[in-house]
Amino acid sequence: MKINTMLLLKYLRCATSPDEERFVREWLANDVDGSHARKYKEAHLIFEGITLYGLIPSERREAAGRSDFRPSFMRRVAGYAAAAAVAVFAAVGTGVIVKNNTLDAIAQKTESVYVPAGKTMELTLEDGSKLWLNSGTEIEYPAVFARKSRNVKLVKGEALFDVVHDEDRPFTVSTFASDVRVLGTKFDVQAEEERGFFQTSLLKGMVRVSSKFNADDNVILHPDQSVTMNNGRLQVSSMTDASSVICWKDGLVNLTGLPFDQLMKKFENVYNVQIHIERQDMPEIRYSRGKVRVSDGIDHALEMLSKASDFEWIHDKNSNIVVIR
């Protein structure tokens, strides 16, 4: 067995066999002149380049099956490493760097993503879990997850999570109102601290939602259930049309389930416009269900909505302001 960059990357991904792990640990411990620590640091920069710049686990598995995997893979990740060049890894004592401590230290370093109004984004995390981020969403996540946990923070907005199952590392989404903890499942989370709105909707699997306002307020969701924060307490309800919750992922806007003023806030994010409501009473939406396509534009959405509600609007395209009367 020989130490090389590929073996060190395998070690950093916690994918080594017991014999390989023991071999790497002994190699790190027997670092007389510091050369082992330098080689390990180089591998670590490549490793973080992989995780930070989008070479996701599925791509690594696909590449591993190709005969040209080694040279092409190394050229690609070396470029990522040069672009990253952000990690500093110090040897402890005689130059030994312990993998577990290193992974946990990296997990403290978070990335932040914000999706502008009128846009959506798909994101793949280091463990292979997939996220779809709606317009106006901000999320924070580590480049590499820790050994015993996978934690992300939904600062604001809405995100759909499809989480890879890992019994040893629970996946937790933290919001201003609650923590949503899962092992492997698919669920949608909305969090808007400014208006005190929180909702989690479960499509498959099981999640535990814990309030940050009351330590005793915990609920477990099953598929086709959602939970909202109502007067500081978590409230569970059944979903009659689960597809409406995540239709935004397919470029659709659900016209039902929200008061008029909140729907206009959603329109502002989705269509990247400013909406001014110049009336005291909010129009009542009489749709039982209905969706509009984002690509058809704000005027089409308002026209469709006006057929089930009582309001008029003016859209000044020069200023991109919509006035509701």
pLDDT in tens, 69-90: 344 444 444 444 444 333 333 3
Better pLDDT: 303 or 75: 303
Q: Which residue has the tokens 């007067």?
A: 231
Query: Alpha-carbon distance 198 to 235, whole Å?
Result: 11
Which pLDDT band, with edges at 50, 70 and 90, does 288 fall under? low
Which pLDDT band, with edges at 50, 70 and 90, does 201 fall under? very high
Q: Which of 13-27, 86-100, 272-286 has the lowest mean pLDDT?
A: 86-100
* Domains by residue range for the chain, with CATH: 5-106 (no CATH), 108-243 (2.60.120.1440), 251-324 (3.55.50.30)
**Which letter does DSSP use for residue 283 in this model?**
P
Neighbours of 179 (CB within 10 A): 16
Please state, rounded to an integer, the average pLDDT across all residues of the chain: 81
Residue 20 has pLDDT above 70, yes or no: yes
Please state whether beta strands 150-162 and 171-174 pair in parallel, antiparallel, or not at all (unpaired).
Answer: parallel
Mean pLDDT of 226-247: 91
Query: Taking a C-beta distance cutoff of 8 angstroms, is the pair 177, 213 a contact?
Result: yes
Q: Is this model's pTM higher than 0.85 or not? A: no
How many CA atoms lie within 13 Å of 297's alpha carbon, on the beta-carbon side?
Answer: 7
Query: Alpha-carbon distance 50 to 46, whole Å?
Result: 6
Q: Which of 112-116, 173-177, 222-226 has the lowest mean pLDDT?
A: 112-116
- pLDDT given for residue 233 in this prediction: 94
Exposure class string for 22-36: b at 16+ Cβ within 10 A, else e: ebbeebbeebeeeeb
Which pLDDT band, with edges at 50, 70 and 90, does 96 fall under? very low
Burial of 273 (0-12, 13-18, 19+ CB in 10 A): buried
Mean pLDDT of 298-320: 91
Q: Which of 67-71, 137-141, 181-185, 229-233 has the lowest mean pLDDT?
A: 67-71
Which pLDDT band, with edges at 50, 70 and 90, does 105 fall under? low
Query: Taking a C-beta distance cutoff of 8 angstroms, is the pair 276, 269 a contact?
Result: no
Q: Which residue has the tokens 């040893």?
A: 168
- pLDDT given for residue 49 in this prediction: 56
Residue 56 has pLDDT above 80, yes or no: no
